[in-house]
């Protein structure tokens, strides 16, 4: 029986290229979906987010016509493209054993459908990955973290077009061949299940270009499944040492009451919002409940026997998931819409309305391991907060408390018999928020002096949590 973290546990941190790198028009990079992610200065924190699935071609053209870069914070990020050596030196001081980041598709294939890769973009990632390795960290590379080349949206309609399968496979092959022997752990698509709150970012669908938006989303997801299996096939041929994982965002829902109706409607939401994706990518086939969902909702998903065979034969080596909060569902108070959930009144919430639930992480770890019996990676976990820089530091005890409670939950899950091999704290350095495009929603152990309007010195400062996480890593989780 295990009473602590494994000796070779990967204590890490995670960022995404589109939220950190900046340099949106440098080094031969093409325009990508995050480059049109607009920051709303009148954002109401904790309010219901407008689904980006409502993106239309008209709205996209309006955004492309705006000239002020500060309104698109991901265009500049934290300038990681130019500062990565200094930033990784801080990560080395922190003692990270692993560093997760992504390769921006539009930096390698600027238009997405190019015949040849952009060598300047590859050279940047050559140096970045070499620096990660030289700093004593295991690189964990996400191939697609919402960095969809914009041409694949405007000319192909995003992932609903099957031609993207081959474009993605070309991108994957290029990266696999370039970084074999340097990168072992790959996440093929970030949070593949976020089709309701990240459907434009992840799927590249403009809702006014389709007759049935939900059908288009599930067609796009099927194409991503096929692309992941094809990439897995290619990866295993190129380097048998590769570990090719799948990743979801944990959407675990609790039933509001013990009524059978609440319990069963919650089961159905959990099935289609999270288990569906693991069942296809790990078990290698479409589950019956998903086929019934398609039939009941009159969704016609085009899939061939060849594609289904590929999905069946080339499944994931491990499961990764992000975990931030849990949710609640009622058969009475919530509709059948998978995104219609409630906040749990028994749990405290962050200023952005995310319920803090460490026990929910232990619950999810047990559920996923019982279901799939594959090694698990927590690819993201952290607390977004409004940090205040004083005297060159941030007294972020609230972040320490959050992370400590979640790490204790992981430790208990390991005692339960769950195989957890990595933990990546989200945003070991402050980056632009994915969901709100704010700089002020901070997760890091390192404070970046940058404001939502793009002003600030961009200097880096260690927070109190920096030294705390460093001790956690040094003691392999014994000192929490």
pLDDT-flagged residues of the chain (< 50): 50-53
Beta carbons within 8 Å of 372's beta carbon, 6+ residues apart: 278, 282, 283, 319
Q: Which domain holds residue 316?
A: 10-474
Q: What is the DSSP string of 151-191?
A: HHHHTT-GGGSTHHHHHHHHHHHHHHHHHTTT--EEEEETT
Beta carbons within 8 Å of 42's beta carbon, 6+ residues apart: none
Beta carbons within 8 Å of 467's beta carbon, 6+ residues apart: none
- Chain-centre distance for alpha carbon 241: 23
Give the CATH number for residue 396: 3.20.20.80
Burial tier of 363 (Cβ tally within 10 Å: 0-12, 13-18, 19+): middle
Q: What is the pLDDT of residue 39?
A: 85
Q: Would you say residue 5 lies in a domain? A: no
Q: Would you say residue 123 lies in a domain? A: yes
Give the number of other Cβ atoms within 10 Å of residue 31's Cβ: 19
Q: What is the pLDDT of residue 272?
A: 96
Measuring CA to CA, which residue among 100, 24, 95, 98 is closest to residue 64? 24
End-to-end CA distance of the chain: 20
- Rounded Cα distance between 396 and 230, Å, is 44
- Rounded Cα distance between 131 and 126, Å, is 9
Measuring CA to CA, which residue among 136, 235, 224 is closest to residue 179? 235
Q: What is the pLDDT of residue 334?
A: 93
Measured in residues, the chain has a length of 480
Give the number of other Cβ atoms within 10 Å of residue 204's Cβ: 26
Q: Would you say residue 1 lies in a domain? A: no
Backbone angles phi, psi at 377, to 5 degrees: -120, 130
Q: Would you say residue 221 lies in a domain? A: yes
Q: Would you say residue 4 lies in a domain? A: no
Q: What is the pLDDT of residue 48?
A: 55
Q: What is the pLDDT of residue 51?
A: 44
Q: Would you say residue 2 lies in a domain? A: no
Cβ–Cβ under 8 Å, residues 187 and 140: yes
Domains: count for the chain = 1
Q: Would you say residue 361 lies in a domain? A: yes
Strand partners, 196: none
Q: Would you say residue 480 lies in a domain? A: no
Summarised one tens digit per residue, pLDDT across range 1-56 is 678 999 999 999 999 999 999 999 999 999 999 999 988 877 777 655 544 447 99
Q: What is the pLDDT of residue 47?
A: 59
Beta carbons within 8 Å of 260's beta carbon, 6+ residues apart: none
């Amino acid at each position: 029986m295990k009473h602590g973290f494994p000796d070779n546990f990967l204590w890490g941190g995670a960022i995404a290229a589109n939220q950190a790198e900046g340099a949106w028009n440098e080094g031969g990079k093409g325009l990508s979906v995050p480059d049109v992610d607009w920051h709303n200065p009148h954002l109401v924190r904790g309010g219901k987010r407008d689904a980006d699935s409502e993106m239309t071609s008209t709205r996209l053209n309006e955004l492309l016509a705006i000239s002020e870069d500060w309104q698109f914070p991901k265009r500049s990020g934290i300038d990681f493209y130019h500062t990565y050596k200094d930033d990784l030196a801080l990560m080395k001081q922190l003692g990270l054993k692993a560093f997760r980041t992504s390769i921006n598709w539009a930096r390698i294939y600027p238009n997405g459908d190019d015949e040849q890769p952009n060598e300047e973009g590859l050279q940047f990632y050559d140096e970045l990955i070499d620096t990660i390795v030289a700093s004593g960290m295991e690189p964990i590379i996400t191939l697609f973290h919402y960095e969809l080349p914009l041409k694949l949206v405007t000319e192909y309609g995003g992932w609903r077009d099957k031609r993207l399968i081959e474009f993605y496979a070309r991108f994957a092959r290029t990266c696999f061949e370039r970084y074999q022997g340097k990168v072992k752990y790959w996440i093929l698509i970030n949070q593949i299940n976020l089709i309701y709150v990240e459907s434009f970012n992840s799927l590249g669908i403009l809702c006014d270009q389709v007759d049935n938006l939900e059908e288009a989303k599930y067609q796009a997801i099927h194409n991503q499944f096929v692309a992941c299996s094809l990439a897995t096939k290619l990866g295993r041929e190129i380097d048998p040492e590769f570990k090719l994982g799948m990743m979801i965002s944990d959407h675990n829902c609790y039933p509001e009451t013990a009524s059978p109706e609440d319990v069963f409607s919650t089961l159905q939401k959990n099935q289609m919002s999270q288990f569906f994706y693991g069942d296809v990518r790990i078990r290698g086939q479409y589950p019956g409940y998903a086929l019934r969902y398609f039939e009941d909702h009159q969704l016609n998903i085009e899939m061939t026997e060849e594609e289904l065979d590929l999905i069946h034969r080339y499944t994931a080596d491990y499961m990764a998931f992000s975990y931030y909060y849990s949710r609640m569902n009622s058969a009475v108070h919530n509709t059948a819409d998978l995104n219609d959930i409630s906040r749990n009144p028994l749990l405290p919430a962050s200023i952005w309305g995310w319920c803090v639930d460490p026990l929910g992480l232990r619950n999810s770890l047990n559920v996923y391991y019982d279901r799939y019996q594959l090694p698990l990676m927590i690819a993201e976990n952290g607390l977004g907060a409004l940090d205040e820089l004083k005297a060159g530091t941030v007294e972020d005890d609230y972040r320490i408390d959050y992370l400590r409670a979640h790490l204790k939950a992981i430790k208990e899950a390991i005692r339960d018999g769950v195989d957890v091999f990595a933990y990546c704290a989200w945003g070991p350095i402050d980056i632009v928020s994915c969901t709100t495009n704010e700089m002020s929603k901070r997760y890091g152990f390192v404070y970046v002096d940058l404001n939502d309007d793009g002003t600030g010195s961009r200097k880096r400062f260690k927070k109190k949590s920096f030294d705390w996480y460093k001790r956690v890593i040094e003691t392999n989780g014994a000192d929490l």
